[in-house]
Each structure stands twice: as structure tokens, then as C-alpha cells.
Amino acid sequence: MSSLTVTTWYLEQTAPGDLTQAAEPPAAQDVRIVRAQRPLPEFSRFLYSAVGGDILWTDRLTWPYARWAEYLSRPGVETWVAYAHGTPAGFIELDGTIDGVTEIAYFGLVPAFRGQGIGGHLLSVGTARAWDLGERYEGRPATRRVWVHTCSKDGRHALRNYERRGFRLYDTTVEQEAVTETPGPWPGAGDTALPAWEGAPRPV
């Protein structure tokens, strides 16, 4: 089996003021970010495979329904979804199950929505929600640290996107991983297969 050299970067914020907000997308893109308040394994698995199908997200593809349901039902696990013209464009998943610490477990966009200024806005909103996560759960202490890891398998702009939002690098690892298939929502899915949408904002 062939292997792949994977570099993983670990980043953190240690105060809410560390967050640098991105500009909001133009109003014509009709972007809304909404929390999926009812845990739904079917929807979360769709987001996971649609966003990660071309960037080697495979860890959860084998999760059975019960494991998805149990994980999503944990207090402190939240999924915030970006919609563009009513269509799911990406998501950010927060794991605040450890008191005072919130991990950005997953973050990304469906291929068809990348490069349109949505990602920075979604990360800004998601990171802000990571900082105030404790306020949504009775008896939970305030967040004192938000952290995330990204790797060389993710999108080529991922690391820079986190740094622009104020995350600081605190560790780096390099490991060999086995190469695995990433079918996405179905084999061949991706933005290159989509026809141009007439409602898309025109470049200026």
C-alpha cells in the first residue's frame, strides 16, 4: 500500500480578542450561517462527505448511524452551516465537550462554493461561536482556549485562512499515512462537474 507524507499544524487562540474578523460576503450571495440545533446523522454525514470528499477526509466514512447520533448529541458539540441562496455551502463543527476548551473539529466548504469569500466569513462566525459556546450550556465555564488542527491534505489555503483569523501556530508534526480513497458524496463529485449557475455573482 502506498503512503503519503502528511504535515499537521496545530493552532490556537487564547482570548476572544485574538479573533480577526473577515469581511462578510456581498449581499448578492445571500449567505446565512445557521446552527443545526437538532442532531441529524444523515445531514452531518452529507456535510462531511460533500466538503471532504476531495481533500482526503475519510475518518468518519465508516461510522455507523448510532455513532454519529451519539457524537452529535453530546452537550457542547455544535454544527454551524453556511447557506448560499438556500443551498448548504459549508460547515464548521465545534467540539466543546471539555470545559473551557473548544476545538474546531471540522471546517470547510463544498467545492462549488470555494473561492467566493464565504470561507473566511464562516470561520469568523464559527470561531466567535466557539468563544461564546459556554454561554449556551447551563453550568459550563467560559471558553478560555479555542484550537484547531489542519494538515497538508486539506485545501491549500486552509493554514493561511486560520492564521488570517488570528490563530497562532503552536506545534507541527510530520507523519506517513496510508493512501485511501475519498469518494465524497459519490465518485467524481466536485465543482468541475457543475454547470455555471446563472445566479452566481459576476466577477468585478
Averaged pLDDT for residues 63-87: 97
Report if pTM > 0.75.
yes
User: Which parts of the chain are beta strand (E)?
Assistant: 3-13, 31-35, 77-84, 87-98, 101-109, 145-151, 168-178
Query: Which run of H or E residues covers position 121?
Result: helix 118-131
pLDDT digits (tens, 9 = 90+) for 9-63: 999 999 999 999 999 999 989 999 999 999 999 999 999 999 998 888 888 999 9
Averaged pLDDT for residues 110-123: 93
pLDDT band (50, 70, 90) for residue 78: very high
- Please check whether residue 146 lies inside any domain of the structure: yes
Minimal CA–CA distance to 13: which of 91, 92, 106, 129? Answer: 129
Cell numbers standing for residue 85? 441562496
Minimal CA–CA distance to 143: which of 6, 8, 19, 7? Answer: 19
Averaged pLDDT for residues 180-193: 63
Domain that holds residue 58: 3-179
Provide the pLDDT for residue 196: 54
- Please check whether residue 12 lies inside any domain of the structure: yes
Q: Which of 24-33, 116-125, 179-188 has the lowest mean pLDDT?
A: 179-188
Strand bridging mode 101-109 / 3-13: unpaired
- Please check whether residue 116 lies inside any domain of the structure: yes
Q: Which CATH number belongs to the domain containing residue 133 in this structure?
A: 3.40.630.30
- Please check whether residue 107 lies inside any domain of the structure: yes
Structural domains in the chain (count): 1
